[in-house]
């Protein structure tokens, strides 16, 4: 038996080694786990305009007010009230140039479009309590001499 002890011990060690090897190896039919890829989604586009002053830019306000600055810029740039109303109704909001944080009366919408005489303009509208104030009028295509303070 003393002579068989080393052989038995060697066989037991071989069986243990095979068992450890089997636990550590993966079967051929299982693919390695793929790393998770996180796709960063673009922020959702702003919601479309609605015609209520409390939820967006009112395209048909009860009243349009004009700041002194807006009146001066309109004069310099040859833009009249009918063109301002046309841009308000038909223009496209440029969200990058708008300031939409805060309460209703703090929001400013930059609306862009073409006037009747084909001027490309950006008009800043500030809605508040069912009315809209024209803050300024910008001619995107031309620099006009203007002395508005």
Domain of 100, CATH number, reads: 3.30.2310.20
Residue 49 neighbours by CB under 8 Å, 6+ apart: 56, 57, 59, 93
- As a whole number of angstroms, the longest Cα–Cα distance in the chain is 116
Give pLDDT tens digits for 112-137.
999 998 999 999 999 998 899 999 99
Give pLDDT tens digits for 23-39.
776 655 555 666 666 65
Sheet holding 109-114, edge to edge: 63-66, 131-139, 120-128, 109-114, 92-93
Asked whether residue 111 is assigned to any structural domain, the reply reads: yes
Token digits for 147? 């002395």
Asked whether residue 11 is assigned to any structural domain, the reply reads: no
Asked whether residue 7 is assigned to any structural domain, the reply reads: no
Give pLDDT tens digits for 63-95.
999 999 999 999 999 999 999 999 999 999 999
Token digits for 118? 């084909």
Asked whether residue 108 is assigned to any structural domain, the reply reads: yes
* Number of domains, the chain: 1
Asked whether residue 29 is assigned to any structural domain, the reply reads: no
């Amino acid at each position: 038996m003393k002579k068989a002890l080393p052989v038995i011990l060697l066989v037991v060690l071989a069986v243990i080694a095979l068992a450890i090897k089997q636990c550590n190896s993966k079967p051929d039919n299982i693919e390695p786990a793929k790393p998770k890829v996180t796709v960063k989604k673009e922020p959702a586009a702003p919601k479309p305009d609605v015609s209520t002053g409390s939820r967006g830019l009112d395209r048909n306000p009860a009243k349009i007010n004009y700041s002194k600055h807006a009146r001066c810029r309109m004069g310099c740039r040859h833009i009249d009230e009918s063109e301002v109303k046309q841009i308000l109704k038909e223009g496209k909001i440029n969200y990058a140039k708008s300031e939409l944080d805060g309460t209703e009366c703090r929001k400013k919408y930059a609306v862009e479009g073409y006037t009747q005489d084909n001027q490309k303009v950006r008009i800043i509208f500030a809605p508040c309590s069912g009315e809209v104030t024209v803050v300024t009028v910008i001619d995107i295509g031309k620099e006009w001499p203007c002395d508005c303070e």
